[in-house]
């Protein structure tokens, strides 16, 4: 099906272009979301008549997205989740969680604007890309930890996926050689 794009869509085209897309993509996404019109003579005339309004609205959305991007630039957010000793989380952090965390900090970001191909399932510092507008994207940092103290330690560069980091135990000191001296004689043998 051929459609006229009413806004820029990544990997598809610019506003005003007539592109050929699959029927399902057009019927289920582009047309209901108001991102495109069917390509026929009546809609081409309608688009040309409304082009100035559409471009102004697109520019307004882009400037709003850029303002939000400037506020988010360089920000790091702490996410506290339960996890095992190896850093494997019992749950995960998904796009919905990222949107909720940003909303709690005062940033209005929709779940579909968060690019997270796979949920985060391990503690650590993760980069997440936000698509605020078709032409504006920014990366934020999520510091996923078991507690606020661990998040602070992680932000300083410490790895918290070992027993030493969690409990202060040196795993090398727990080797049997350190407890028994093979050269020492048994007290019972001396008697």
Task: Give Dmax over CA atoms of the chain in angstroms.
Answer: 109
Provide the pLDDT for residue 38: 94
Decide: 142 and 128 in contact? Cβ < 8 Å: yes
- What CATH number was assigned to the domain covering residues 2-63? 3.40.5.10
Q: What is the pLDDT of residues 12-55, one digit of tens each?
A: 988 889 999 999 999 999 999 999 999 999 999 998 898 899 88
Q: What is the pLDDT of residues 59-80, one digit of tens each?
A: 998 999 899 899 988 889 999 9
74-170 under CATH 3.10.430.100, yes or no? yes
Q: Which of 136, 133, 137 is nearest to 35 (CA)?
A: 133
What is the pTM for the complete model shown? 0.69
The domain spans of the chain are 2-63, 74-170
Q: Which of 116, 115, 107 is nearest to 68 (CA)?
A: 107
């Amino acid at each position: 099906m051929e459609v006229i794009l009413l806004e820029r869509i990544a990997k598809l085209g610019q506003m005003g272009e007539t592109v050929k897309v699959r029927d399902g993509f057009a019927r289920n996404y582009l047309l209901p979301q108001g991102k495109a019109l069917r390509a026929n003579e009546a809609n081409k005339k309608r688009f040309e008549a409304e082009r100035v309004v559409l471009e102004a609205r697109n520019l307004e959305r882009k400037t709003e997205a850029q303002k939000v991007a400037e506020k988010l630039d360089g920000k790091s957010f702490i996410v506290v989740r339960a996890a095992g000793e190896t850093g494997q989380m019992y749950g995960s952090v998904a796009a919905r969680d990222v949107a909720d965390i940003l909303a709690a900090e005062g940033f209005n970001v929709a779940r579909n604007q968060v690019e997270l191909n796979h949920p985060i399932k391990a503690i650590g510092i993760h980069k997440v890309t936000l698509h605020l507008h078709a032409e504006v994207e920014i990366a934020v940092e999520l510091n996923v930890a078991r507690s606020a103290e661990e998040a602070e330690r992680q932000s300083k560069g410490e790895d918290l996926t070992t027993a030493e980091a969690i409990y202060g135990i040196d795993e090398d000191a727990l080797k049997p050689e350190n407890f028994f001296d093979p050269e020492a004689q048994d007290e019972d043998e001396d008697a």
